[in-house]
Structure formats: structure tokens, C-alpha cells
């Protein structure tokens, strides 16, 4: 019993030392403006931001439409939207892979193993998340405005535009959830991107690769950078939302 | 089996057979014998609204004057707010029809009406942007019109403030200013001053009276008898979803003809 405890303690100390070393390595890589690291970070951000932007436009519009419009089968659509939130990334990766492979329906586009394929996979993954969260949030907002909008005799399109604008600060949080899912995703993009160095290697696929090679220092350094990045984005969004709430706009 | 509609006032009593009432075909909207569009802004015929077979508005037929302020009175749950929403076309009646100047309520008519609610629903925008939103909805893109409206309701100095940070009275004035953006033919007020202090009530009433002078027909629901006495040209008293009484204000306050109205004015608890 005591031996196990001492063993665990020693392992813990080693792990903490590893973490400390990895953190130092991460800081050194950042401060030295390591070209490979910044290439990976830039590509990660590039892919995630484009995927999030596309998913936000389509997902938020669709979510707003479902929030304000009453149509047959609406409940089924909402159940489907909510279910698609937990879409397995590897399944999405596989579907995109089959669609973009030479024998697939979109093989002629030649997009497989390219950043575009990774963006497509991520858009498919995060659009349902953004649509479902937006629908819930905007429906609550619409319930608050409904009578007044009925009184104005607003068209559906004008209503959708109005609630999207008025829900903008809350929707930033939804966009953030989509971005978070996108930047941390590995299963789908490794299938469709192939993790090709200097071309489709992003932070998550690089971490997976470095871990499999036993290069834990580098994997942890990349992980720390990923966490710092996520923390920074969250802090910025939280500050924005807080000030909007204080001003009565959120 | 006989039924009296409304209950006690002789000059308003209409005696009809219940079976006949149920089976009676509604006249067409072109039937000018019942819709006197020259004198009445609004005519309602056999208006009924029910949810899950529960009748909430029951067989209301009335004509409201073009110019007088119509005050809707009644106990809680009498159907006042529901009647207002039916008249405004926000909800469709289960039976009967609402005619504005002899025509059925349609989108074009609704867009010349406005409603102010008990709790103002303001957009998460600045004061001036709240007004601009409504103006743009009506296709008015003249930016100076928003400033004019804010000056009219005494909020020009707060134009850039977030609307939801205004005081209760200011919020209601903004809601009223926004409602007047399109110079509506009809303005509905659903207990718009119920939670305001006397100074704010005064400010709202002044704006309402000014709108009336400019030709807007005012229909307001209130529980404030003093306000009803100050503003009403005619009073519509609702009881249990039915029209209990419709009379000129002086006649109503001096000599109410229905038991319910009498109890209400005497402050008796139902």
C-alpha cells in the first residue's frame, strides 16, 4: 500500500517536472517565433476561423428561422438539430473522405488531403451545434419580442434579422462554442487532411503525431499553446459580453 | 330561451333567440346595413374567441366611434386585453369579424395601427435605434423623423442611451413614441400606465391626447378609474368575456346600467 503511494507520488513529481519542462519549451518556442510552430498555429486558426464563420452564417440563419417560424415537422427538425450536436467526428471525417475521394461524388474537385477538405469536415461538424444553440437562444428572445413584433406586423425575414441583431452578444458565445469545437477537433480532419507537414498539419493533429512518436515535450507544448489560445479567445469574448450586459445590449 | 346583450342598459339591449344567434349567418363585409362606416371606426360582429373549447370572448358585437377615446374597463380576466388583441388583428377570432371603416382587418390596416403594452418591449439597442427600427419597418428612411419623434415624447436628450437602461416612465414614453412613428390611424394601449408614477402617467396622457387631436383613434385598457374619467369619450365594460356595457363616458360614470359595471365603479370586490 505504502509502496504504491510512494510510487504514485514519484510519478506525480515526474509528471509535474515534465509539465514544467513542456511549459518552458512552449514559452521558448513562442518567444523564438519558431517558424514550424507558427505555421501550425496559423493553419489551425485559418481553418477553424473559416469553418466557424461559414457555420455561423448558415447555422445562425437556420436556427433563427426555426426559432420564429411555425411549420409542420418543426419539432422533428429541432430533435434532429439537437441530435446532430453529438455527431461523431470520425463519422463526419469518413463521410467527407468518401465524398471527396476520387471514386466519390465530389472526387473531381480534388480537395482530399487539403485544408479545404478540413474546412468542409469542420463546417459539417459545427454547423448543427451553432444552429441548435442559436435556435434555443433566439427562440427565448423571440418569445420576449413576439407580441410587439406581431403588433408591428413584421415579416418573417425582418423578424429573423431583428432577433439575430439583438441576440448578437449572446450569439458570440455560440460562435465561441463552435470555434472551440473546431479548433480542438482531431478525428475528422486527420482523416480528410492526412496530417501532411507544411500543408495540412494543425495543432491537434500535430499533438496526436508527437504523442505517438513519444515526443511528449513537444506534444505538451503544443497542448499548452492550444489552451492559452482558447483562454485568450474566451477572455476577450467574456469581456465583450460583460460590457454589453452592463450597457443593456445583451 | 331569451338572452340579453348587453345586460341592463335598455337603449343597448338586443333581444335575440339563443338558437337564432347560434345559427345566424354572418353578414358579408360589404353589408352596409350593419357596418356604418361613416360614423364608426370599428365594428365588431358576433366576435368569439375560444381556446380548447373554453370561450374567452363571447359574442361581442359593438361599434366604436371614430373620434372619441374608447376606454375598456373590467375586472381582471374579463377579456379586455384579449379583446384589444382581437381588434388589432394580432389573434384571429374563432367566430365573427372585425371591420375597420367597413373593411375586414388586413395587413395594410394593421400596419396603420399600433399597440403599447403594459410592459414595454424594447429592443436591445439605443433609444434612437429603437425608433429607427420601426420607421424602417414602415419604409420611412428619413433619419430626422426619429429625432422629431423623440423630441415629441421628451427623450431627444437620451437618444444615444441604451433603451433598456431608461427608467420605467421613459421606457413607456419611448414605446409610445415608437408606436406613433407611423402616425397610426388607431393606437391601442394595454394598461400602458399601470406601473408608472403620477408624473409619468401625466406625460403619457399628454402624448395620448395630442395623438387624438392629430386624428388617431385611441382605444385603451385601464384599471385606473381616474384615468378613465379623464380620458374617456366612451366606455366599453367587459365582464366574463362578454360586453356588459358600451356607453358615452358621462352616462357610464353617472348611471351605469349593468350590475357588473356598478360593482366595479363602487369598488366592490367581485
Model confidence pLDDT, tens digit, residues A153-189: 999 999 999 999 999 999 998 999 999 999 999 999 9
Q: Give the tens place of pLDDT for each residue, A62-86.
A: 999 999 999 999 999 999 999 999 9
**A231–chain B nearest CA distance, Å:** 28
CA-CA distances (angstroms) from residue A148 to A142, B83, B146, B170?
Answer: 10, 16, 19, 18
pLDDT-derived band at B7, boundaries 50, 70, 90:
very low
% residues pLDDT > 90 (chain B): 69
Q: Which three cell numbers stand for residue B198?
A: 403620477
How many of the other CB atoms lie within 10 Å of CB of B126?
Answer: 20
User: With 90 as the cut, is the pLDDT of residue B268 above it?
Assistant: no
What is the pTM (predicted TM-score) of this model?
0.81
CATH number of the CATH domain containing B224: 3.40.50.300
Q: How long, in residues, is chain B?
A: 270
End-to-end CA distance of chain B: 27
Dist. CA A123–CA A172, nearest whole Å: 17
User: With 90 as the cut, is the pLDDT of residue B8 above it?
Assistant: no
CB B171 within 8 A of CB B204: no
CB A228 within 8 A of CB A142: no
Average pLDDT value for residue range B44-59: 92
Binary contact (B164, A154; C-beta < 8 A): no
pLDDT-derived band at B270, boundaries 50, 70, 90:
low
Dist. CA A175–CA A134, nearest whole Å: 9
Which pLDDT does position A222 carry in this prediction?
A: 86
- For residue B167, give every residue at least 6 positions away whose Cβ sits within 8 Å of its Cβ, in sequence order, or none: none
Lookup result for grid cell 373620434: B67
Q: Which three cell numbers stand for residue A36?
A: 514550424
CB A163 within 8 A of CB A67: yes
**Taking CA atoms, what residue in A is nearest to B110?**
A153
End-to-end CA distance of chain A: 55
How many Cβ pairs closer than 8 A exist between chain A and B?
Answer: 41
Of A53-57, A111-115, B28-32, B183-187, give the lowest mean pLDDT range: B28-32
CB B134 within 8 A of CB B83: no
Q: Which three cell numbers stand for residue A179?
A: 470555434
Average pLDDT value for residue range A124-147: 96
What domain count does chain B have? 1
CB A81 within 8 A of CB A138: no
For chain B, the average pLDDT equals: 84
Torsion of CA A37, A38, A39, A45, to 10 degrees: 110
Q: What is the CA radius of gyration of chain A?
A: 22
- For residue B176, give every residue at least 6 positions away whose Cβ sits within 8 Å of its Cβ, in sequence order, or none: B116, B153, B192, B204, B207, B208
User: With 80 as the cut, is the pLDDT of residue B54 above it?
Assistant: yes
pLDDT-derived band at A224, boundaries 50, 70, 90:
confident
Give the 3-state secondary structure of chain A: CHHHHHHHHHHHHHHHHHHHHHHHHHHHHHHCCCHHHHHHHHHHHHHHHHHHHHHHHHHHHHHHHHHHCCCCCHHHHHHHHHHHCCCCHHHHHHHHHHHHCCCCCCHHHCCCCCHHHHHHHHHHHHHHHHHHHHHHHHHHHHHHHHHHHHHHCCCHHHHHHHHHHHCHHHHHHHHHHHHHHHHCCCHHHHHHHCCCCCCCCCHHHHHHHHHHCCCHHHHHHHHHHHHHHHHHHHHHHHHHHHHHHHHCCC
**A116–chain B nearest CA distance, Å:** 37
Secondary-structure percent of chain B, ordered helix, strand, coil, rounded to 5: 35, 25, 35
**B137–chain A nearest CA distance, Å:** 7
Sign of the C-alpha dihedral computed for residues A207, A211, A215 and A221 taken in this order: positive
pLDDT-derived band at B177, boundaries 50, 70, 90:
very high
Q: Give the tens place of pLDDT for each residue, B182-236.
A: 899 999 999 999 989 999 999 999 999 999 999 999 999 999 999 999 999 999 9
Which pLDDT does position A4 carry in this prediction?
A: 65
How many of the other CB atoms lie within 10 Å of CB of A224?
Answer: 18
Written out in words, the top-level CATH class of the domain with range A24-247 is mainly alpha
Secondary-structure percent of chain A, ordered helix, strand, coil, rounded to 5: 80, 0, 20
Lookup result for grid cell 385606473: B224
Q: Give the tens place of pLDDT for each residue, A8-24.
A: 656 666 567 777 777 78
Nearest Cβ partner for B114 among A144, A151, A165: A151
Binary contact (B163, A248; C-beta < 8 A): yes
Say which residue, B142 or B114, is predicted with more confidence: B114
Task: Give the domain range for residue B21.
Answer: 2-265
Average pLDDT value for residue range A85-95: 94
User: With 60 as the cut, is the pLDDT of residue B16 above it?
Assistant: no
Dist. CA B255–CA B268, nearest whole Å: 16
Domain-embedded: residue B60 = yes
Question: B113: phi > 0 → left, psi -120 to 50 → alpha, else beta; which?
Answer: beta
Q: Which three cell numbers stand for residue A240?
A: 465583450
pLDDT-derived band at B143, boundaries 50, 70, 90:
confident
User: With 70 as the cut, is the pLDDT of residue B14 above it?
Assistant: no
Average pLDDT value for residue range A190-213: 93
Domain-embedded: residue B110 = yes
Interface of A with B (CB under 8 A): 144-145, 147-148, 150-154, 158, 162, 165-166, 169, 247-250
Binary contact (A148, B117; C-beta < 8 A): yes
Question: A68: phi > 0 → left, psi -120 to 50 → alpha, else beta; which?
Answer: alpha
Which pLDDT does position A246 carry in this prediction?
A: 79
User: With 80 as the cut, is the pLDDT of residue B17 above it?
Assistant: no
Domain-embedded: residue B270 = no
Average pLDDT value for residue range B110-115: 93
Dist. CA B225–CA B86, nearest whole Å: 24
Binary contact (A153, B124; C-beta < 8 A): no
ipTM entry: 0.79
User: With 80 as the cut, is the pLDDT of residue B178 above it?
Assistant: yes
Dist. CA A61–CA A55, nearest whole Å: 10
User: With 80 as the cut, is the pLDDT of residue A238 above it?
Assistant: yes
Amino acid at each position: 500500500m505504502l509502496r504504491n503511494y510512494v510510487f504514485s507520488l514519484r510519478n506525480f513529481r515526474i509528471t509535474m517536472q515534465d509539465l514544467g519542462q513542456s511549459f518552458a519549451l512552449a514559452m521558448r518556442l513562442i518567444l523564438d517565433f519558431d517558424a514550424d510552430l507558427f505555421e501550425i498555429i496559423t493553419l489551425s486558426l485559418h481553418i477553424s476561423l473559416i469553418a466557424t464563420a461559414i457555420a455561423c452564417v448558415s447555422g445562425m440563419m437556420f436556427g433563427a428561422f426555426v426559432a420564429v417560424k411555425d411549420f409542420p415537422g418543426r419539432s422533428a427538425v429541432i430533435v434532429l438539430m439537437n441530435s446532430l450536436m453529438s455527431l461523431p467526428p470520425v463519422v463526419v471525417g469518413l463521410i467527407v473522405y468518401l465524398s471527396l475521394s476520387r471514386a466519390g461524388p465530389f472526387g473531381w474537385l480534388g480537395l482530399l488531403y487539403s485544408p479545404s477538405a478540413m474546412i468542409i469536415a469542420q463546417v459539417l461538424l459545427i454547423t448543427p451545434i451553432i444552429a441548435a444553440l442559436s435556435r434555443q437562444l433566439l427562440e427565448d428572445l423571440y418569445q420576449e419580442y413576439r407580441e410587439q413584433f406581431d403588433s408591428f406586423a413584421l415579416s418573417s425575414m425582418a423578424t429573423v434579422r431583428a432577433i439575430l441583431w439583438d441576440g448578437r452578444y449572446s450569439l458570440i458565445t455560440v460562435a465561441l462554442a463552435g470555434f472551440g469545437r473546431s479548433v480542438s477537433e482531431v478525428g475528422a480532419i486527420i482523416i480528410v487532411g492526412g496530417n501532411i507537414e507544411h500543408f495540412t498539419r494543425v495543432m491537434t493533429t500535430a499533438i496526436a503525431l508527437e504523442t505517438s512518436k513519444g515526443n511528449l515535450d513537444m506534444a505538451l507544448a503544443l497542448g499548452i499553446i492550444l489552451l492559452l489560445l482558447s483562454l485568450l479567445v474566451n477572455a476577450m469574448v467574456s469581456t465583450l459580453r460583460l460590457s454589453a450586459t452592463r450597457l443593456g445590449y445583451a | 330561451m331569451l338572452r340579453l346583450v348587453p345586460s341592463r342598459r335598455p337603449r343597448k339591449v338586443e333581444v335575440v333567440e339563443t338558437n337564432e344567434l347560434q345559427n345566424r349567418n354572418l353578414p358579408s363585409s360589404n353589408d352596409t346595413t350593419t357596418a356604418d362606416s361613416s360614423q364608426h371606426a370599428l365594428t365588431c360582429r358576433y366576435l368569439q374567441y375560444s381556446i380548447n373549447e373554453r370561450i374567452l370572448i363571447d359574442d361581442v358585437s359593438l361599434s366604436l366611434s371614430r373620434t372619441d377615446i374608447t376606454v375598456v374597463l373590467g375586472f381582471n380576466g374579463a377579456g379586455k386585453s384579449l379583446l384589444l388583441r382581437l381588434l388589432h388583428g394580432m389573434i384571429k377570432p374563432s367566430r365573427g369579424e372585425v371591420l375597420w371603416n367597413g373593411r375586414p382587418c388586413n395587413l395594410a390596416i394593421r400596419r396603420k395601427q399600433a399597440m403599447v403594452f403594459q410592459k414595454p418591449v424594447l429592443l436591445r439597442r439605443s433609444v434612437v435605434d429603437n425608433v429607427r427600427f420601426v420607421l424602417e419597418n414602415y419604409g420611412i428612411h428619413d433619419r430626422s423623423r426619429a429625432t422629431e419623434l423623440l423630441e415629441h415624447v421628451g427623450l431627444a436628450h437620451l437618444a444615444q442611451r441604451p433603451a433598456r437602461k431608461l427608467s420605467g416612465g421613459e421606457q413607456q414614453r419611448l414605446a409610445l413614441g415608437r408606436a406613433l412613428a407611423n402616425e397610426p390611424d388607431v393606437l391601442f394601449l394595454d394598461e400602458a400606465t399601470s406601473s408608472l408614477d403620477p408624473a409619468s402617467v401625466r406625460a403619457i396622457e399628454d402624448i395620448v391626447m395630442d395623438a387624438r387631436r392629430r386624428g388617431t383613434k385611441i382605444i385603451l385598457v385601464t384599471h385606473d378609474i381616474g384615468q378613465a374619467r379623464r380620458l374617456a369619450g366612451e366606455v366599453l365594460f367587459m365582464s366574463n368575456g362578454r360586453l356588459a356595457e358600451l356607453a358615452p363616458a358621462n352616462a357610464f360614470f353617472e348611471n351605469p346600467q349593468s350590475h357588473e359595471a356598478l360593482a366595479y365603479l363602487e369598488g366592490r370586490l367581485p
